[in-house]
């Protein structure tokens, strides 16, 4: 037996698990990792009852720890090798789910934090979950724009138990960094009283990508102006405001004179430069509320409010005069001029398509009259 104890201890001490060698009477050998576990209530009695190989679970009477016994018979020894592995309590499993969950969530009552997981603290730049719970109110991170709706949503949650929707809103981290948060709210019982649990996902990247794609779909990439689709889709608010306020409204079409010849002679890169510069000059000449678009190759459109007493013919002439410039290309000086066709809104029955047809007809008249000039749809007196 002395030889058995010596050789056993050599390899038992090398094992990473708590391990014991035992028979039906008692413990023959144990490594240091097993010593504290053998002191647990009922463990020795449980080991004496082992009569077969396999696994079993055992929880001492005091419930302090749950153990897994994995036993194997030692050949020719009349003894057993059993590995003792502590099992986490169910509450420990739940705690791991909370702590390791990459999805941020928190519990609050009337926006006073009651609980938060580490992912929530990290998302909003808190140093710890304790720092979150110490807040008097979540208003600091919710943001003023969403705050009234957040209060209304809370009241609805408490009354109905659900919002019936999810939201994407702009929130702020503790450090003032903005993020777009996708929120899922529901009511649960917390320490015997109802509270709101909010699950938060950071969708800032997806929102930026959607905004970028939307801008690409509605913007002319060369000039940065609205494209044809955007111009016609977003012209309705201008007409609605004109009807509501009985204000004037001008639609102006512009075409760069002899642009095809410029492209053919000096090349498309130079032509692109002219188009981009034309867009910049046009933006600098009009008011901020004007809708400016590149609607064709070298054709541009402008929809803008007319001030009381302002004549669309005068606006068209002014644009035609000030948009003119000279551009250098190698040793050549290229004169850039524009033909302009314009019309004004003629009342509640006048549609954008009607205005566009009149302005287009006036533009072709300006070209027929020699280009580098403006023409307003007749009768001019009706377009004031």
Q: What is the set of active-site residues?
A: 298
Distance CA 13, CA 21 (A): 12
From residue 142, alpha-carbon distances to 149, 252, 342 in Å are 10, 44, 48
Secondary structure of the chain in HEC code, one letter for each residue: CHHHHHHHHHHHCCCCCEEEEECCCCEEEECHHHHHHHCCCCHHHHHHCCCCCEEEEECCCCCCCEEEEEEEEECCCCEEEEEEEEECCHHHHHHHHHHHCCCEEEEEECCEEEEECHHHHHHCCCCCHHHHHCCCCCHHHHCCCCHHHHHHHHHHHHHHCCCCCCEEEEEECCCCCEEEEEEEEEEEEECCEEEEEEEEEECHHHHHHHHHHHHHHHECCCCCCECHHHHHHCCHHHHHHHHHHCCEEEEEEEEECCHHHHHHHHCHHHHHHHHHHHHHHHHHHCCCCCEEEECCCCEEEEEEEECCCCCHHHHHHHHHHHCCEEEEECCEEEEECEEEEEEECCCCCCCHHHHHHHHHHHHHHHHHCCCCCEEECCCHHHHC
From residue 361, alpha-carbon distances to 101, 114, 350, 376 in Å are 65, 69, 16, 9
Q: How does strand 54-58 pair with strand 66-74? A: antiparallel
């Amino acid at each position: 037996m002395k030889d058995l104890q010596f050789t056993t201890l050599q390899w038992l001490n090398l094992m990473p698990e708590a391990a014991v060698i035992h028979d039906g009477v008692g413990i023959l050998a144990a490594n240091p990792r097993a010593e504290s576990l053998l002191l647990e209530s009922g463990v020795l009695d449980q080991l004496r009852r082992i009569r077969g190989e396999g696994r079993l679970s055992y929880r001492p009477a005091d419930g302090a720890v749950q153990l897994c016994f994995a036993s194997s018979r030692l050949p020719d020894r009349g003894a057993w090798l059993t590995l003792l592995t502590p099992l986490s309590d169910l509450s420990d499993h739940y705690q791991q789910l909370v702590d390791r969950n990459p999805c941020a969530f928190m519990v609050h009552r009337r926006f006073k934090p009651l609980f938060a997981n580490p992912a929530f603290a990290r998302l909003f730049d808190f140093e710890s979950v304790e720092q979150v719970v110490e807040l008097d109110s979540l208003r600091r991170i919710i943001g003023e724009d969403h705050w009234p709706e957040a209060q209304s949503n809370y009241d609805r949650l408490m009354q109905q138990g659900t919002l019936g929707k999810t939201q994407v809103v702009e929130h702020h981290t503790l450090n003032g960094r903005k993020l777009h948060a996708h929120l899922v709210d529901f009511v649960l019982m917390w320490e015997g009283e109802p509270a709101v649990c909010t699950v938060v996902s950071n969708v800032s990247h997806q929102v930026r990508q959607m905004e970028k794609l939307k801008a690409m779909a509605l913007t002319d990439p060369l000039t940065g102006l609205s494209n044809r689709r955007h111009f016609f889709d977003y012209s309705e608010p201008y007409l609605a405001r004109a009807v509501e306020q009985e204000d004037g409204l001008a639609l102006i079409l512009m075409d760069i004179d002899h642009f095809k010849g410029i492209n053919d002679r000096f090349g498309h890169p130079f032509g692109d430069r002219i188009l981009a510069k034309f867009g910049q000059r046009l933006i600098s000449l009009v008011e901020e509320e004007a809708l400016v678009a590149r609607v064709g190759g070298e054709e541009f459109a402008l929809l803008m409010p007319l001030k009381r007493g302002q004549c669309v013919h005068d606006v068209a002439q002014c644009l035609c005069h000030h948009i003119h410039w000279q551009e250098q290309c190698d040793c050549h000086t290229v004169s850039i001029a524009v033909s302009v066709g314009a019309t004004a809104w003629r009342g509640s029955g006048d549609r954008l398509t009607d205005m566009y047809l009149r302005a287009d007809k006036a533009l072709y008249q300006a070209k027929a009259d020699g280009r580098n000039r403006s023409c307003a749809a007749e009768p001019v007196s009706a377009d004031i």
